[in-house]
């Protein structure tokens, strides 16, 4: 049998059947182009008879996209099939995908037809479609709950009618991998007995799988079917689709790639797809943005945490050698940036690694000082810890004696039920220039307070006003503890005009006061890093060198 697995992407058809998803024509084209770039073999563009909008979308994609087959869905009746063809006919390589259910439950309650009638409709549908194109796919909807003998009869009948691809959907996500594997083996055998062995071996006739995720088995079932001899897999980006979704393409592709050794052993050959895996993450993010379907952080391959290491023991392992805790190269699926994420469970190795990647070399003693503050002041306070906070600790530890600014007092109004704006008045001390008072109006009380502090110290946020312009890159507030008396913890990251970034933290029972403290902390660190940051960096590096060499992280670790 051929070792090429054809990727049939149904993000735009079954994926769009996800409750709450409705893509505009422009969005479908944008996703369609991304799918072509990704290297899918077939794009199921829609169900043309469903609505004029669906018809137009299929027609537009058929006209616009090249280098890919375009499929359209049609029930087993002449009108659906003719409409599908009308929409498809300008495609470079059009495919009519016709279907009818084969399970007794569907026959009895939904179609109200006998097995004989459905068998005949299935065959006729393929013949109708063949009048337009030889590229016809037939799906036996709810195949996994169908009587096996009857299903085999339908499969052989549609092959005889000229279907090029026969799809065995697990429409309601009911099957389990071994059962599905056995079913595909059984159908392959029946097709061979009916004289289609050579066509299957050459890939001229293909069995396809289409799995839903109701029991969380869509990908496992798809892979089992590929092991059993299916060579087309129907799937969606991020696994979106009807109910619990379809099989996630990115997972199937990466299973085939990562476990090529296993397929080699089991089948005597690895299974190949045409997917350019480096485009997986950008495509996933595009689909998530346009469909509004959020990708859970722990989702395999494309979730934000899929390659992130936050706990100390794992971080240490990965820093020593990526393969200790990574089975795939994150860049091979399109991720960039660091895999080491600082957080509550991070350890000394990760802190050292992060500081090294920020250009700091520390002696053991200096690292211990930073790590101790990280452990006691930050780890339990912030959920995610941007790298800037580590540098902030260094400045606090070594330069805080020279910190320039101090807030003496602040008064901030907080309003409700009025069109008036909040006002902040602050009194600050600049060690170089003395005390200053400033007043500012803001959208909210934090905005007013930040603007007043900035004004008093010769900075500004935004276009207006005088002073050096700063950008607030990040601002967040967390509650430490529960209830209305919980302490507020505010974190800010500032960026100056040269791109230098510093972070600040502030804690207070009053969240506006916590914000003011965080801002002051960040401003003090900014000034200190400008004045003495490089000197400190050199001094610490000299101390580290004097201490002798330490193991450098492996270049493999990113």
Ligand X SMILES: CC(=O)SCCNC(=O)CCNC(=O)[C@H](O)C(C)(C)COP(=O)(O)OP(=O)(O)OC[C@H]1O[C@@H](n2cnc3c(N)ncnc32)[C@H](O)[C@@H]1OP(=O)(O)O
Residue with tokens 């099939």: 81
When CB distances to Mg ion are compared, the closest residue is: 14
Helices 511-546, 445-456: crossing angle, 10 deg rounding: 50
- State the binding partner of 111 from Mg ion, ligand KIV, ligand X, none, CB within 5 to 8 A by kind: ligand X
What is the 3 state secondary structure string of 215-252? CCCHHHHHHHHHHHCCCEEEEEHHHCCCCCCECEHHHH
**Is 246 annotated as belonging to a binding site?**
yes
- State the binding partner of 167 from ligand KIV, ligand X, Mg ion, none, CB within 5 to 8 A by kind: ligand KIV
Q: Which listed range, 6-14, 257-265, 274-282, 536-544, lies at the site for Mg ion (CB under 5 A)?
A: 6-14
Residue with tokens 């990965």: 318
Is-contact 225 200, C-beta < 8 A? no
Q: Which listed range, 166-174, 269-277, 435-443, 480-488, lies at the site for ligand KIV (CB under 6 A)?
A: 166-174
**Is 212 annotated as belonging to a binding site?**
yes
What is the 3 state secondary structure string of 117-150? HHHHHHHHHHHHHHHHCCCEEEEEECHHHCCHHH
Is-contact 103 145, C-beta < 8 A? yes
Minimum distance between the CB of residue 243 and Mg ion, rounded to whole angstroms? 9
Q: Is 83 an interacting residue with respect to ligand KIV (CB under 6 A)?
A: no
Minimum distance between the CB of residue 212 and Mg ion, rounded to whole angstroms? 6
Q: Is 167 an interacting residue with respect to ligand KIV (CB under 6 A)?
A: yes
**Is 309 annotated as belonging to a binding site?**
no
Length of the chain: 558
**Is 14 annotated as belonging to a binding site?**
yes
Nearer to ligand KIV, 6 or 389 (CB): 6
Site string for ligand KIV, 42-81 (x = CB under 6 A): -------------------------------x--------
Nearer to ligand X, 248 or 523 (CB): 248
CA 109 to CA 114: how far, in whole Å? Answer: 11
CA 93 to CA 133: how far, in whole Å? Answer: 9
Binding to ligand KIV, residues 124-163 (CB under 6 A): 139, 141
Q: Is 14 an interacting residue with respect to Mg ion (CB under 5 A)?
A: yes
The residues of the shown chain that bind ligand X, judged by CB under 6 A, are: 14, 17, 47, 49-50, 75-77, 99-100, 110-111, 141, 171, 242
The DSSP result for 245-278, as a single string, is -B-BHHHHHHHHHHTHHHHHHHHSS--B----GG
Tally of CB atoms within 10 A around 312: 17
Which H or E run includes 474? strand 468-480
CA 304 to CA 292: how far, in whole Å? Answer: 16
- State the binding partner of 49 from ligand X, Mg ion, ligand KIV, none, CB within 5 to 8 A by kind: ligand X
When CB distances to ligand KIV are compared, the closest residue is: 169
Nearer to ligand X, 118 or 505 (CB): 118
Q: What residues are designated binding site for Mn(2+)?
A: 14, 210, 212, 246
Binding annotation = 14, 210, 212, 246
Binding site for ligand KIV (CB under 6 A): 14, 73, 99, 139, 141, 167, 169, 171, 210, 212
């Amino acid at each position: 049998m051929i070792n090429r697995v054809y990727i049939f992407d149904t993000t735009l058809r079954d994926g769009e059947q996800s409750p709450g998803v409705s893509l505009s024509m422009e969005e479908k084209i944008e996703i369609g182009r991304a799918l072509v770039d990704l290297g899918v073999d077939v794009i199921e563009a829609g169900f043309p008879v469903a609505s004029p909008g669906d018809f137009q979308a299929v027609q537009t994609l058929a006209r616009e996209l090249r280098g890919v087959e375009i499929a359209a869905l049609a029930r087993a009746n002449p009108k659906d099939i003719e409409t599908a063809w009308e929409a498809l006919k300008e495609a470079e390589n059009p495919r009519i995908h016709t279907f009818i259910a084969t399970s007794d439950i569907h026959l009895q309650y939904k179609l109200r037809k006998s097995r004989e009638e459905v068998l005949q409709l299935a065959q006729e549908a393929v013949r109708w479609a063949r009048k337009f194109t030889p590229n016809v796919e037939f799906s036996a909807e709810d195949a996994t709950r169908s009587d096996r003998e009857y299903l085999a009869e339908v499969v052989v009948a549609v092959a005889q009618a000229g279907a090029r691809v026969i799809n065995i959907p697990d429409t309601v996500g009911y099957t389990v991998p071994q059962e599905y594997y056995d079913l595909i083996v059984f159908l392959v055998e029946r097709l061979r007995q009916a004289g289609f062995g050579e066509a299957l071996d050459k890939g001229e006739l293909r069995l396809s799988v289409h799995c839903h995720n109701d029991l969380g088995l869509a990908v496992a079932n798809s892979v089992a079917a590929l092991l059993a001899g299916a060579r087309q897999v129907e799937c969606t980006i991020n696994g979106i689709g009807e109910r619990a979704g379809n099989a996630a393409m990115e997972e199937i592709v990466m299973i085939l790639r990562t476990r090529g050794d296993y397929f080699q052993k089991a089948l005597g050959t690895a299974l190949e797809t045409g997917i350019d895996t480096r485009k997986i993450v950008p495509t996933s993010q595009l689909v998530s943005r346009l469909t509004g379907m959020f990708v859970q952080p722990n989702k395999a391959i494309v979730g934000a945490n899929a390659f992130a290491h936050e706990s100390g023991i794992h971080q240490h392992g990965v820093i020593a050698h990526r393969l200790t805790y990574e089975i795939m190269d994150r860049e091979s699926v399109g991720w960039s940036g660091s895999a080491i994420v600082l957080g509550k469970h991070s350890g000394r190795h990760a802190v050292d690694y992060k500081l090294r990647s920020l250009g700091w070399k520390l002696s053991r003693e200096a690292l211990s000082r930073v790590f101790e503050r990280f452990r006691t002041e930050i780890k339990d306070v912030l959920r995610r810890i941007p790298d800037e906070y580590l540098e902030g600790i260094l400045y606090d530890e070594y330069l805080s004696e020279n910190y320039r600014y101090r807030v003496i007092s602040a008064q901030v109004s907080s309003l409700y039920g009025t069109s008036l704006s909040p006002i902040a008045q602050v009194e600050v001390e600049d060690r170089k220039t003395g005390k200053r008072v400033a007043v500012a109006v803001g959208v909210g009380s934090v905005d007013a307070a930040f603007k007043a502090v900035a004004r008093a110290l010769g900075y500004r946020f935004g276009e207006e006003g005088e002073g050096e312009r700063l950008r607030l890159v990040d601002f967040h507030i967390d509650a430490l503890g529960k209830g209305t008396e919980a302490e507020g913890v505010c974190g800010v990251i500032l960026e100056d005009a040269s791109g230098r970034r510093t972070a600040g933290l502030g804690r207070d029972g009053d969240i506006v006061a916590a914000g003011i403290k965080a801002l002051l902390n960040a401003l003090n660190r900014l000034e200190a890093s400008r004045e003495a940051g490089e000197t400190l960096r050199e001094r610490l590096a000299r101390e580290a060198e004097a201490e002798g060499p330490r193991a450098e992280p492996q270049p493999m670790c990113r």
